[in-house]
Amino acid sequence: MTKVNLKQYIQFSVVNKAQFPCNLKLEVTLDNEIFNSPGIFFLFYRGELIYIGFTNNNQNVIGERVIRQIATITMRDYRLQFTNAALDALINDPVFDSYFNVPKPIVANTDFVTSVNRVNFASSHWDEFKNFNNETLSRFEMEWYPNPKVIGCISIEEISQQLIEYYKPRCNKEYCKPILNY
């Protein structure tokens, strides 16, 4: 297992012709061979496990997967897209009332797609994400488990799914907000 602060490996820049808040571009700045293998990653924000993901190839997991997760969790990247349900959550959240009006959010399902859970997470951290800077980026950490042994499991994907079901991180699709009964 390797734990890293993602500020060491990711940088962001402002995209000149993109409208705030979707006006940043996240990209890898430091390539390390340790991240170029199949494996499972845990993504943390301020110490909270917020996402579990995996990769089955030998590409850099930070460049291939983690950047997309941070971009869609913070809702600040210029490539951001919404599902219909995520757009409804955005429109109905008073925190975002004056932010995503121009240009109109893109509803698509190709690459940098956010979800209802991520809209809700971004809403609860919007004061930090709307002012995204190096300090905000430094609050993201990753635990990387390369080449996990698949003993008793069919695949890395199956192990990842079992971990998601057990931990239920807030930015994975499997998360459901607890219903409080008083």
pLDDT at 165 over 70: yes
Burial of 64: CB neighbours in 10 Å, binned 0-12, 13-18, 19+: middle
Q: What is the pLDDT of residues 45-92, one digit of tens each?
A: 999 999 999 999 999 999 999 999 999 999 999 999 999 999 999 999
Q: What is the pLDDT of residues 102-147, one digit of tens each?
A: 788 999 988 899 999 999 999 999 999 999 999 999 999 999 999 8
Helices (H), the chain: 61, 67-74, 84-91, 116-124, 126-129, 134-138, 156-167
More confident residue, 32 or 118: 118
